[in-house]
Structure 1
Amino acid sequence: MDDTFYLSNMCPQVGEGFNRDYWAHFEDFCRRLTVQYPSVRIVTGPLYLPRKDPVDNKWYVRYEMIGSPPSVAVPTHFYKVIFAEDGREGGKVAIGAFVLPNAPISNEKPITDFEVPVEAVERASGLEFATKLPVQRRRRLCADTACALVIRDYAERQKAFAKGDKRGGSASK
């Protein structure tokens, strides 16, 4: 978990409605996988995906630049590829690949709406994730376990911490 906080491992994300909300719930789901699986490995990264222009019907890759001067590209999407092993030598590996827009997402939206084949993430990112893993060892993560988010109000907890409540709940009088 400590590797999460290196500056070289950061990417700008939309805060309200994504990083502090849906994405945080998704990361909690990933942490909870360690209860069911002895070995969980996750690769997360940015994507810059094309969108079809409604005027000329052509596909374009467009993204925001931030900084002063603008020098940091804001990804249009983020991916997670999850490998959850059953712990047996030569055992099954549950694989899940997800692509989420870097935009506010309703907490009611099921995470399975963002599930994609791992090959789609490989194509979009230019990386290879499971090419050497035999097909007979692979399982689809969301067929192996319930891919459901537990919604917690992180924004309210953060406000409570800022006010000095170390429990992250309402301050008692």
Structure 2
Amino acid sequence: MLKRMVSRNVKACVLVGSATAVAFIAGKYYERNTLTVHLSPQPALPVFGSVSAAQDACSLSAKTSFLDRLLSKNVWSIEAASPLTENGNPQIVPRNSSRISQIMKYGYPSLDNVISYNDYILSYDRRNKVANWVFEHLTAESVKGNEKVDRSKCNFVEAQHVHPYFRSRNSDYKGSGYDRGHLAAAGNHKACQQHVEETFYLTNMAPQVGKGFNRDSWNRLEKYVRKLTKRYPNVYCCTGPLYLPKKESNGKMYVKYEVIGSQHVAVPTHFYKMVVGENQDGSLEMECYVMENT
């Protein structure tokens, strides 16, 4: 009697398992042969090591989805929750191109600790507590200014989106003899109060010699870059620090640089700025500058 009951249970399990397998295979066959998937490119941030630091209250770019801020420069994606049309195909939901994809149109210099703000992107060096590079997209409209924008309301802010171990602090600069020098210039982002305020995050700062450099030659270069928007409809600017070797008295080359504050914020020996002007016909012209931090 017991053997018969066990035999019946085994047969029932086999029948249920077989039915499930047949249903799964049939469903897969139907899906592959009846569902047409529509793919569309969605540019945005690199998947790995990226942080979106803020939401834009100044433009429609704030309405772009989280996916636009997370996925790679040009990846293929599908709206998984899109309703099906009468013919069984997913409905394609149009999206506005994100501000990020405009700024990073020609690619990323590197993918190390990328942080996106509303009007510029940077790669952050957690060891030196200074950005590796900062990328901007400038137009005549974006640098024109807005009478409602008031720079005097801006304060230097520690980046709460960076771990405390790796962020610079205002106290690091106090008494150091160095300015908190902008990499993405505040004057490049005057179209909106939020945009100019975000240039005051310390992730966008580097220790710069004040008189003679930050307040003079570096400032003149920033103004020159803004003037290029009168010549080119689109100007792309990449700015960052350099730590260049110097020959010592023994004839050998050494990389040496000062660090300031309790967080040991690195003082760059030089700064670079690469500027690409995009003409109406799509042709490009480039200028490069390296300036000593003195």
* Deviating 4+ runs (over 6 angstroms): none
Q: What's the RMSD between the two structures over aligned residues?
A: 1.2
- Structure 1: distance between partners of 2:202 and 2:246: 29
Q: Secondary structure at the match of 2:229?
A: helix
Q: Secondary structure at the match of 1:49?
A: coil
State the AA in 2 paired with 1:95: M
Between the two structures, name the one with larger relative contact order (CA 8 Å, sep ≥ 6): 1
State the AA in 2 paired with 1:79: Y
Counterpart residue number, 1:102 = 293
Give the total of aligned pairs: 99
Kindly indicate whether residue 218 of structure 2 is the aligned counterpart of residue 23 of structure 1: yes
- Structure 2: distance between partners of 1:72 and 1:18: 19
1:24-173 aligned at under 5 Å gives the runs: 24-53=219-248, 55-67=249-261, 69=262, 71-88=264-281, 91-103=282-294
- Structure 2: distance between partners of 1:29 and 1:99: 15
* Bigger Rg, structure 1 or 2: 2
State the Cα distance separating 1:87 from its structure 2 match: 2.2
- What are the superposed Cα offsets for residues 18-69 of structure 1, whole Å, 9 maximum, x if unpaired? 000000001000000001100001000001000111x2110001111111x3
Give 5+ residue unaligned stretches, structure 1.
104-173
- Structure 2: distance between partners of 1:62 and 1:98: 21
Counterpart residue number, 1:107 = none
State the AA in 1 paired with 2:285: A
State the Cα distance separating 1:92 from its structure 2 match: 1.5
Counterpart residue number, 2:205 = 10
TM-score normalised by the chain length of structure 2: 0.33
State the AA in 1 paired with 2:201: Y
State the AA in 1 paired with 2:257: Y
Q: Secondary structure at the match of 1:13?
A: strand
State the Cα distance separating 1:5 from its structure 2 match: 2.4
- What are the superposed Cα offsets for residues 135-163 of structure 1, whole Å, 9 maximum, x if unpaired? xxxxxxxxxxxxxxxxxxxxxxxxxxxxx
Give 5+ residue unaligned stretches, structure 2.
1-188, 190-195
State the Cα distance separating 1:70 from its structure 2 match: 5.6
- Structure 2: distance between partners of 1:48 and 1:56: 20
- Structure 1: distance between partners of 2:273 and 2:285: 13
Q: Identity across aligned pairs (percent)?
A: 52
TM-score normalised by the chain length of structure 1: 0.55
